């Protein structure tokens, strides 16, 4: 065994996120040079991301060809709404509450237990994975009178939490040449409604029965943006009047009589988005941002937030962490910081990863974003029409205390998004380019494609890049959520051509996972990885390593299909060698 009597320890927490704008000499040890499909964890460390899976098992019907992407997804009245081609459809989705085995017989009297039957008809057809079921009755959490393996499908085992959904039902059509949709959920008269605009056709309103009513006013036909503010409906983004905002009279989205409080406002730039925040309506333009305040036509007033910074794309505007966040020409910005500092560069919150935005803003043709409030997380995706899913990149932004931390995504390619709260759960869904609606934060793959997670530390010199370090051991502190499959690599001397490249050290369940509860499984004396516990769910893995160099970097490559886990920190033990 190597002599460890003179070993020196150096420990650090995984914190600070992805940093691409500083030399490794200036980076903190816990920051990352590569952080791909890992996310800064609000509980500390870097967590391998969850995947996504189908939220509705059926593909949304196409109008004319299979290349039509999903133009809109939204949750409304316990239904999933989606637009594709020239039509709008509805479906219902829930999850299995109990596993069904393939041998369970259901021939007209079976029962399926689910999380909720809200949004489902009193009888109909269900799909779970590839199997179809019919049912004749429902309770709050069960489908009754179930017959399985209908329509020539085969009985299969379906595990707890599997998606249970209905086919898509057409609820509106003839939306000729519809583009990307924008929508607003509202309630002006005690009845919940949702309104859609698509940049071409008349705005359309649905009630909870999913009955469609077109807005009759031609002045707002072809609007791209819509939002409710002070009980008026605001419309903007017409190709013929790109600098105008038109608003309805109070409590009526389809009445535009000026005598009753309707009107219009013009700004001196092309509008790219509308967003209500606190007591104001923010009007985002290509090169400016305005704020509208007041309560009615009599006192509505517009003032500039900035005349020097605009928004690249309205689909990036989100309420996040008590502010509005949006994509400016120089990266992500917050409205409060942009207004407060007078438009100087400090308003950009993404300086650590500025190179990612410089590259992707110019290359992307579409932008999407989503907020996960339970994770204090904002995600932005850079999409190109011709790009494959596995080449699509995005950025994760997490607010931790008063600082923002970042990481990259690779393999998520949404065409539209929505986030809503159901029974206390945050549900983020996105439409895809292949016609399906997916739910993020579900599963351990990207709908069957492996999640390739990568972490790399800075090149660590331990304060002296002129002295060789002979590595003895790496102690890894991590938080598993189930079995994991990942590899630890050590790389020396900035991965120079002649540097040592030891083989991977596996971090898998056979060596490092714990059996929680009243007993624990420890690695055998013959195992290369010996470990103790730094808590019930955060083992410390002691991994003997080899190699030497003047600097050392740690890298973790994830196997791609196991449950998430968080890298919390590392301790490196080494002996000092010769000085060069």
How do residues 350-392 score in pLDDT, each as one tens digit?
Answer: 999 999 999 999 888 899 999 999 999 999 999 887 888 999 9
Neighbours of 495 (CB within 10 A): 14
- Sort strands 79-84 and 87-91 into parallel, antiparallel or unpaired: antiparallel
> Which tokens go with 330?
């120089």
Cα–Cα dist 456/444, whole Å:
21
Q: How would residue 260 be classed by pLDDT, with cut points 50, 70 and 90?
A: very high
Under the phi-then-psi rule, with left for phi > 0, alpha for psi from -120 to 50, and beta for the rest, what region is 210? left
Do residues 493 and 577 touch, judged by C-beta distance below 8 A?
no
> Which tokens go with 543?
């991994």
Cα–Cα dist 309/306, whole Å:
6
Model pTM above 0.75: yes
Cα–Cα dist 200/238, whole Å:
8
Nearest CA among 279, 327, 288, 291 for reference residue 309: 288
Mean pLDDT for all residues in the chain: 91
Q: What is the structure's pLDDT at 485?
A: 85
Q: How would residue 337 be classed by pLDDT, with cut points 50, 70 and 90?
A: low
Nearest CA among 515, 435, 449, 519 for reference residue 482: 515
8-31+453-579 CATH pick, 3.30.1490, 2.60.120, 1.20.1270, 1.10.600:
2.60.120
Q: What is the structure's pLDDT at 362?
A: 85
Within 342-461, residue ranges assigned H as helices are: 354-363
Any idea which residue has 């083992």 for tokens?
539
Nearest CA among 121, 119, 118, 112 for reference residue 160: 112
Q: What is the structure's pLDDT at 339?
A: 64
CATH of the domain spanning 181-307: 2.120.10.30
Report the SS3 class of residue 238: coil
Length of the chain: 580
Cα–Cα dist 415/384, whole Å:
10
Do residues 163 and 55 touch, judged by C-beta distance below 8 A?
yes
Bridge partners, residue 218, by sequence: none
Q: What is the structure's pLDDT at 526?
A: 41
Bridge partners, residue 456, by sequence: 34, 555
How do residues 492-510 score in pLDDT, each as one tens digit?
Answer: 999 999 898 999 999 865 5
Cα–Cα dist 451/457, whole Å:
20
> Which tokens go with 112?
């399926």
Measure the CA dihedral 380/385/391/397, to 10°: 0
**Percent of the chain residues past pLDDT 70, beyond the cut:** 92
Q: How would residue 514 be classed by pLDDT, with cut points 50, 70 and 90?
A: very low
Cα–Cα dist 559/292, whole Å:
50
> Which tokens go with 312?
């690249």
SS (H, E, C) 303-338: EEEECCCCCCCHHHCEEECCEEEEEECCEEEEHHHH
Q: What is the DSSP letter of 449?
A: B
CA angle 215, 217, 222 (to 5 degrees): 75
Q: What is the structure's pLDDT at 4?
A: 58
Do residues 416 and 430 touch, judged by C-beta distance below 8 A?
yes
Sheet holding 331-334, edge to edge: 318-320, 323-328, 331-334
Domain ranges of the chain: 8-31+453-579, 93-165, 181-307
Task: Check residues 497 and 165 and name the one with the higher pLDDT.
Answer: 165
**Residue 45 clears pLDDT 90, i.e. is over it:** yes
The predicted model gives 42-49 an average pLDDT of 96
> Which tokens go with 327?
């994509």
Burial class (CB in 10 A: 0-12, 13-18, 19+), 111: middle
Do residues 407 and 40 touch, judged by C-beta distance below 8 A?
yes
């Amino acid at each position: 065994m190597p002599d460890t009597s003179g070993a020196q320890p150096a420990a650090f927490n995984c914190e600070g996120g992805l940093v691409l704008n500083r030399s490794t000499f200036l980076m903190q040890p816990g920051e990352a040079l590569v952080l791909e499909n890992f996310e800064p964890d609000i509980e500390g460390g870097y967590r391998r991301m969850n995947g996504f899976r189908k939220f509705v098992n059926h593909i949304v019907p196409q109008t004319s060809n299979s290349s039509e992407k999903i133009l809109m997804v939204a949750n409304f009245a316990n239904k999933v709404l989606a637009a594709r081609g020239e039509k709008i459809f509805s479906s219902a989705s829930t999850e299995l509450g109990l596993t069904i085995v393939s041998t369970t017989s259901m021939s007209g009297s079976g029962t399926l237990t689910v999380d909720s039957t809200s949004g489902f008809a009193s009888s109909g057809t269900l799909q779970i994975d590839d199997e179809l079921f019919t049912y004749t009755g429902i309770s709050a959490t069960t489908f009754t009178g179930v017959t399985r393996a209908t329509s020539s499908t085969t009985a299969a085992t379906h595990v707890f939490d599997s998606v249970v959904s209905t086919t898509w039902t057409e609820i509106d059509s003839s939306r000729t040449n519809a583009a990307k949709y924008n929508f607003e959920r509202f309630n002006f008269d005690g009845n919940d409604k949702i309104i859609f605009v698509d940049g071409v056709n008349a705005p359309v309103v649905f009630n909870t029965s999913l009955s469609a009513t077109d807005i009759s006013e031609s002045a707002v036909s072809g609007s791209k943006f819509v939002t409710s503010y002070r009980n008026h409906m605001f419309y903007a983004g017409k190709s013929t009047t790109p600098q105008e905002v038109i608003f309805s009279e109070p409590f009526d989205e389809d009445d535009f009589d000026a005598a009753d409080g309707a009107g219009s406002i013009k700004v001196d730039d092309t509008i790219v988005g509308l967003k209500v925040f606190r007591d104001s309506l923010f009007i985002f333009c290509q090169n400016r941002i305005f704020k509208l305040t007041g309560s009615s036509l009599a006192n509505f007033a517009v003032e500039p937030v900035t005349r020097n910074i605009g928004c690249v794309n309205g689909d990036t505007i989100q309420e996040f962490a008590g502010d509005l966040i949006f994509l400016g020409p120089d990266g992500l910005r917050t409205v409060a910081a942009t207004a407060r500092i007078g438009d100087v560069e400090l308003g950009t919150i993404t300086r650590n990863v500025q190179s990612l935005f410089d590259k992707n803003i110019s290359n992307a043709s579409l932008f999407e974003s989503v907020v996960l409030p339970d994770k204090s997380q904002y995600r932005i995706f850079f999409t190109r029409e011709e790009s494959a899913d596995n080449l699509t990149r995005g950025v994760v932004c997490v607010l931790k205390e008063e600082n923002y931390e970042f990481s990259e995504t690779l393999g998520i390619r949404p065409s539209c998004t929505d986030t809503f709260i159901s029974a206390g759960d945050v549900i983020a869904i996105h439409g895809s380019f292949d016609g399906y609606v997916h739910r993020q934060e579900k599963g351990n793959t990207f709908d069957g494609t492996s999640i390739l997670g990568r972490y790399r530390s800075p090149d660590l010199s331990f304060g002296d890049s002129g002295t060789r370090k002979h590595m003895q051991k790496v102690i890894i502190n991590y938080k598993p959520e189930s079995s994991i499959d990942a590899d630890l690599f050590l790389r020396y001397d900035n991965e120079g051509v002649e540097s040592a490249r030891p083989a991977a050290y596996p971090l898998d369940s056979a060596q490092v996972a714990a059996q929680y509860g009243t007993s624990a499984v420890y690695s055998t004396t013959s195992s290369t990885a010996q470990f103790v516990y730094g808590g019930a769910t955060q083992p410390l893995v002691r991994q003997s390593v080899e190699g030497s160099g003047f600097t050392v970097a740690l890298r973790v490559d994830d196997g791609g299909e196991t449950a998430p886990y968080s890298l919390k920190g590392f301790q490196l033990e080494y002996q000092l060698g010769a000085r060069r």
